[in-house]
C-alpha cells in the first residue's frame, strides 16, 4: 500500500478547479466537505486532490496552514479507501468548514466517514 501524496495527485489546474466548482457535486460530513467530479481522462490519468480552509473561520495563515496540513495528512493515510474502490479517476476538493478546532483524531475519523459516504454516493450513481 502506497501512503504517498505525490505531485501528480495534487490539484493545481485552474481550469480543473473552475470546472469542479461549476459542474461538481458534493458530499458532507460535518465539518468536512468533499466536492468531486469525474476527471477528464485525456488530461488526468489519476485522481487529483486539493484542500482548502476558509479565511472566514481562520484569520491567521498559520491556523489555515495547520488545518490544510492535517487535511492532506488524513487524505494521504486514507486515500486507499478511495483509490481501491473508484472505477475511474476523479478530481476532488477537500474543505474544512468550521471555526471549531478539532483534534487530528477527530478529523481523521470524519475523513474516513466522508470517504465512505462518497463511495456510497458514487455506487448509487453508477447503478442508475
Domain ranges within the chain, ordered by starting residue:
11-121
**Which helix or strand (DSSP H or E) is residue 125 part of?**
helix 104-127
Contact 29, 117 (CB under 8 A): yes
Q: Which CATH architecture has domain 11-121?
A: 2-Layer Sandwich (3.30)
Distance CA 61, CA 69 (A): 12
Q: What is the pLDDT of residues 47-103, one digit of tens each?
A: 899 999 999 999 999 999 999 999 999 999 998 998 888 888 899 999 999 999 999
Q: What is the CA radius of gyration of the chain?
A: 14
Distance CA 13, CA 21 (A): 13
At 42 the pLDDT is 61
For residue 82, the SS3 value is: helix
Distance CA 122, CA 47 (A): 14
Spatial CA neighbour of 49 closest among 75, 80, 68: 75
Nine cell digits for residue 97: 468548514
Q: What is the pLDDT of residues 102-111, one digit of tens each?
A: 999 999 999 9
Q: At residue 33, does pLDDT exceed 90?
A: yes
Amino acid at each position: 500500500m502506497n501512503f504517498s501524496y505525490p505531485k501528480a495527485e495534487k490539484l493545481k489546474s485552474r481550469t480543473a478547479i473552475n470546472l469542479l466548482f461549476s459542474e461538481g457535486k458534493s458530499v458532507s460530513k460535518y465539518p468536512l466537505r468533499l466536492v468531486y467530479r469525474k476527471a477528464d481522462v485525456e488530461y488526468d490519468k489519476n485522481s487529483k486532490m486539493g484542500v482548502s480552509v476558509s479565511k472566514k473561520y481562520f484569520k491567521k495563515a498559520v491556523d489555515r496552514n495547520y488545518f490544510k496540513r492535517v487535511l492532506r495528512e488524513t487524505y494521504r493515510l486514507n486515500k486507499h479507501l478511495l483509490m481501491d474502490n473508484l472505477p475511474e479517476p476523479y478530481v476532488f476538493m477537500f474543505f474544512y468548514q468550521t471555526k471549531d478546532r478539532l483534534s487530528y483524531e477527530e478529523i481523521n475519523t470524519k475523513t474516513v466517514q466522508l470517504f465512505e459516504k462518497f463511495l456510497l454516493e458514487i455506487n448509487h450513481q453508477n447503478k442508475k
